[in-house]
Amino acid sequence: GENVEQHPSTLSVQEGDSAVIKCTYSDSASNYFPWYKQELGKGPQLIIDIRSNVGEKKDQRIAVTLNKTAKHFSLHITETQPEDSAVYFCAANSPKNYGGSQGNLIFGKGTKLSVKP
């Protein structure tokens, strides 16, 4: 089945710097790659996603890139702000499943981003 590796596990940057989080996946059939942000005491929230028919997607200060050949995708945050401090999770869909009728998302283990003012 699908396996998603996420690096680094912690990342500390100065306000205004850029932050990059990288993920690799194992199943070449995966075609949907979302990123979730989890603030302290809250549930994860989708911030951006990308599908396998595009290589890059941007939304203001956030961008995601996808390299299907290498099976890796990355989250880029520019001009970081203290409110970007959170845990970020990448995920990949798993067309294979655990015995049910549909595949599911497989999450990376998360990156704790700290933005220092």
Partner 1 sequence: NAGVTQTPKFQVLKTGQSMTLQCAQDMNHNSMYWYRQDPGMGLRLIYYSASEGTTDKGEVPNGYNVSRLNKREFSLRLESAAPSQTSVYFCASSRTGPNTGELFFGEGSRLTVL
User: Whose Cβ is closer to partner 1: residue 3's or residue 18's?
Assistant: 3
Other Cβ atoms closer than 10 A to 108: 23
The number of helix segments (H) and strand segments (E) in the chain equals 0, 11
Q: How far is the CB of 36 from partner 1 (least distance, A)?
A: 8
Residues 70-99 that bind partner 1 (CB under 8 A): 89, 93-95, 97-99
Does 41 engage in binding with partner 1 (CB under 8 A)?
A: yes
Running DSSP on this structure, what letter comes out for residue 14? E
Tell me how far apart the terminal alpha carbons of the chain are, to the nearest angstrom: 41
> Rounded to the nearest whole angstrom, what is the least distance from the CB of residue 28 to partner 1 in the complex?
15
Contact 21, 74 (CB under 8 A): yes
Give min distance, CB of 75 to partner 1, in A: 15
- Positions touching partner 1 (CB under 8 A) are 6, 9, 32, 34, 36, 41-46, 49, 89, 93-95, 97-110
